[in-house]
């Protein structure tokens, strides 16, 4: 291996998927429809304006460009929208291509992953990749990994990577800073200023995603405290990452993880990780939250004498593997005659295509989920729904995110339509995405400020996109059906450790 620290050759790799065990398996097409780029085309997209790539990847490349000379060695970046386990054949192909491309003259590797991937044949494919890469390149080549806050951390990941850098915000609005941090850290390692040591503590605490916001709540508190302790310890700590886990992956690695990377002293990392783990454990009772009951949400929607509100259709969040197709809440709103609602977004390509064909101003019988056979686990909540509708908006779905997690990011939503259904304006899209940005409505000229009730198929990330209009008190997380229902008792988890809180209220842990 070369030790070229003046112009380091850095391999760029990534396989990004958040797997919901109950959702449809992720196939090759699911990556092709979002991100599957190699070599020069990968670098061109990373360096382009409003890149469609994962923001931390773009930021890592830009920061490396800005902080000195380097030789980017772009291999392959694949990303799918959240789905089920990745198919074995797709995973194996990725691994072969990645490992074969790692030549002897590489100085470092950047791995851009989510960290909550499941494969058809593996519970910890993120860890598997990191370990195989480590085996191939040997112990001396730095491997830097960025991960989502919802990653399910394994010891394999922590022993294979030199530095793990997780998002610190939820909604996730710090990917740019984390990509920067990863690049700065790599520069320090390559220049000999750091010989990082990673410590990991896993807690038997497996909370639902709905309790993992960082603006308020126990996870945000411990993340903030971790940053304070890092500052107090001077330069001894390189990174503190606290991962909330993604419960729907249903893997043995489910559980909150504290990952601390010290500049060169493992004991300092271990002590801080344990300190933060103890603080998190003391606060475990706060990792539980109640939803707004379905019927109560309907009452709120019916009430015309109140301030505008926003509902999360929390059971059907495409950002967590939901289909984006459940219609039960829409059907009930129509039945109860609720009006003045903006509701987005239903993933129904056939319906959007039909609307495109009929044209603006047409009235027709809209059939949602016409092709749902509901004979698969992941389709069972996708009830067909037929209703008279008028087409009041059409769009090609090429947009740039405006606020929150998609801000500045190019998105292709395919054919899109806005349907008026008894005073409810319903967005239909052709690429499954969570409605975390007002652009989903604004692309049709709709103003969020004009709506009495906004409903989004998004579990938490919409908060960042819609905070200009709604405070926390105006947000209602509605107990709806779907593959991301945060009511954990409803799910038959097979692999989440049963002795975890809140599944086991008497769960015990100590160092
Ligand atoms: Zn996440």
Q: Give the tens place of pLDDT for each residue, 490-504.
A: 999 999 999 999 999
Query: 497 C-alpha to center of ligand 1: Å?
Result: 21
Q: pLDDT tens across 354-373, in order?
A: 999 999 999 999 999 998 77
Which residues have a Cβ under 8 Å from the Cβ of 491 and sit 6 or more positions away?
22, 248, 250, 485
Mean pLDDT of the chain: 96
The CA dihedral of 344, 348, 351, 352, to the nearest 10 degrees, is: 70
Q: What is the pLDDT of residue 375?
A: 74
Number of neighbouring beta carbons within 10 Å of residue 87: 17
Query: 319 C-alpha to center of ligand 1: Å?
Result: 8
Beta bridge partners of 26: 86
Say whether pLDDT at 2 is over 50.
Answer: no
> Using 50, 70 and 90 to split pLDDT, how confident is the model at 5?
low
d(CA 394, CA 78): 30
Query: 52 C-alpha to center of ligand 1: Å?
Result: 17
Query: 237 C-alpha to center of ligand 1: Å?
Result: 24
Query: 151 C-alpha to center of ligand 1: Å?
Result: 7
> Using 50, 70 and 90 to split pLDDT, how confident is the model at 157?
very high
Q: pLDDT tens across 54-88, in order?
A: 999 999 999 999 999 999 999 999 999 999 999 99
* CA 404 to chain CA mean position, Å: 13
Query: 461 C-alpha to center of ligand 1: Å?
Result: 9
Q: Helix 175-190 vs helix 55-66: angle between axes, to the nearest 10 degrees?
A: 40
Query: 219 C-alpha to center of ligand 1: Å?
Result: 13
Query: 286 C-alpha to center of ligand 1: Å?
Result: 19
d(CA 55, CA 409): 8
d(CA 314, CA 248): 14
Query: 138 C-alpha to center of ligand 1: Å?
Result: 31
Could you tell me the two tokens for 385? 């729904």
Share of the chain above pLDDT 90, in %: 96
d(CA 111, CA 178): 13
Kindly report the CATH number that applies to the domain delimited by 9-286.
3.40.50.2300
Query: 149 C-alpha to center of ligand 1: Å?
Result: 5
Q: Please list all protein residues whose beta carbon sits less than 5 angstroms from ligand 1, which is an ion.
A: 148, 150
Q: What is the mean pLDDT of residues 146-170?
A: 98
Query: 167 C-alpha to center of ligand 1: Å?
Result: 8
Share of the chain above pLDDT 70, in %: 99
d(CA 328, CA 384): 9
The answer to whether 299 and 320 are in contact (CB under 8 A) is no
Query: 17 C-alpha to center of ligand 1: Å?
Result: 10
**What phi and psi, each to the nearest 5 degrees, are found at residue 148?**
-75, 155
Query: 210 C-alpha to center of ligand 1: Å?
Result: 11
Query: 150 C-alpha to center of ligand 1: Å?
Result: 5
Name the CA radius of gyration of the chain, rounded: 23
Query: 246 C-alpha to center of ligand 1: Å?
Result: 8
Scanning the structure block, which residue is given the tokens 């050759």? 9
Query: 371 C-alpha to center of ligand 1: Å?
Result: 30
Domain locations in the chain as residue ranges: 9-286, 294-485
Say whether pLDDT at 383 is over 90.
Answer: yes
Q: What is the pLDDT of residue 6?
A: 83
Q: What is the pLDDT of residue 1?
A: 42
Q: What DSSP string runs through 369-432?
A: TTT----SGGGTT---EEEEEEEEEEE--EEE--SGGGTT-EEE--SEEEEEETTEEEEEESS-
Query: 220 C-alpha to center of ligand 1: Å?
Result: 14
Query: 172 C-alpha to center of ligand 1: Å?
Result: 7
Query: 15 C-alpha to center of ligand 1: Å?
Result: 15
Q: pLDDT tens across 162-171, in order?
A: 999 999 999 9
Lowest mean pLDDT, pick from 24-28, 37-41, 210-214: 210-214
d(CA 481, CA 329): 9
DSSP character for 439?
H
d(CA 184, CA 356): 48
Q: What DSSP string runs through 175-220?
A: HHHHHHHHHHHHHHHHTTS---EEEEEE-SB---GGG--SSSSHHH
Element (H, E) at 221: helix 218-232
Beta bridge partners of 309: 453
Could you tell me the two tokens for 180? 């920067």
């Amino acid at each position: 291996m070369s030790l070229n620290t003046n112009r380091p050759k850095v391999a760029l790799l990534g396989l990004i998927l958040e797997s919901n065990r109950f959702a449809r398996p992720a196939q090759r097409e699911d990556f092709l429809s979002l991100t599957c780029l190699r070599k020069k085309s990968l670098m061109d997209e990373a360096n382009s304006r409003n890149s469609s790539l994962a923001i931390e990847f773009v930021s890592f490349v830009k920061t490396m460009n800005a902080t000195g000379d380097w030789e980017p060695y772009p291999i392959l970046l694949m990303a799918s929208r959240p789905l089920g386990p990745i198919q074995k054949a797709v995973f194996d192909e990725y691994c072969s291509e990645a490992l074969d491309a790692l030549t002897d003259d590489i100085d470092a590797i950047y791995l851009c992953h989510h960290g909550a991937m499941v494969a058809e044949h593996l519970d910890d494919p993120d860890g598997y990749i990191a370990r195989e890469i480590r085996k191939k390149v040997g112990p001396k080549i730095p491997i830097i990994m960025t991960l989502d806050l919802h990653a399910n951390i394994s010891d394999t990941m922590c022993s294979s990577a030199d530095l793990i850098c997780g998002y610190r915000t939820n909604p996730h609005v710090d990917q740019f800073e984390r990509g920067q941090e990863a690049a700065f850290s790599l520069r320090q390692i390559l220049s000999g200023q750091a010989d990082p040591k990673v410590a990991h503590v896993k807690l038997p605490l497996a909370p639902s995603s709905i309790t993992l916001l960082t603006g308020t709540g126990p996870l945000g508190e411990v993340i903030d405290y971790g940053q304070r302790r890092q500052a107090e310890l001077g330069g001894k700590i390189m990174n503190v990452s606290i991962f909330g886990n993604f419960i729907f992956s249903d893997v043995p690695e489910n559980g909150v993880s504290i990952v601390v990377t010290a500049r060169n002293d493992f004991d300092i990392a271990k002590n801080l990780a344990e300190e933060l783990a103890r603080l998190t454990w003391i606060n475990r009772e706060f990792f539980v939250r109640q939803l707004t009951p379905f019927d109560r949400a309907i009452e709120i929607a019916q009430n015309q004498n109140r301030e505008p509100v926003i509902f999360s259709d929390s059971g059907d969040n495409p950002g967590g593997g939901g289909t984006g197709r459940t219609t039960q809440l829409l059907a009930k709103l129509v039945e109860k005659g609720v009006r003045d609602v903006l509701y987005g977004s239903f993933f129904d390509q056939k319906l959007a295509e039909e609307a495109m064909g009929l044209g603006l101003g047409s009235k027709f019988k809209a059939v949602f989920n016409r092709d749902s056979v509901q004979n698969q686990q992941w389709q069972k909540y996708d009830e067909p729904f037929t209703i008279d509708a008028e087409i009041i908006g059409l769009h090609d779905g090429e947009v740039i995110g405006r606020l929150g997690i998609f801000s500045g990011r190019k998105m292709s939503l395919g054919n899109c339509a806005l349907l008026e259904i008894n005073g409810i304006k319903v967005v239909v899209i052709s690429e499954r995405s969570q409605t975390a940005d007002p652009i989903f409505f604004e692309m049709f000229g709709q103003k969020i400020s004009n709506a009495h009730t906004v409903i989004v198929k998004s579990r938490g990330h919409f908060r960042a996109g819609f905070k200009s209009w709604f405070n926390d008190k105006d947000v209602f997380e509605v107990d709806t059906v779907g593959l991301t229902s945060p009511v954990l008792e409803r799910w038959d988890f097979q692999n989440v450790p049963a002795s975890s809180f809140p599944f086991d209220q008497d769960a015990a842990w100590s160092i």
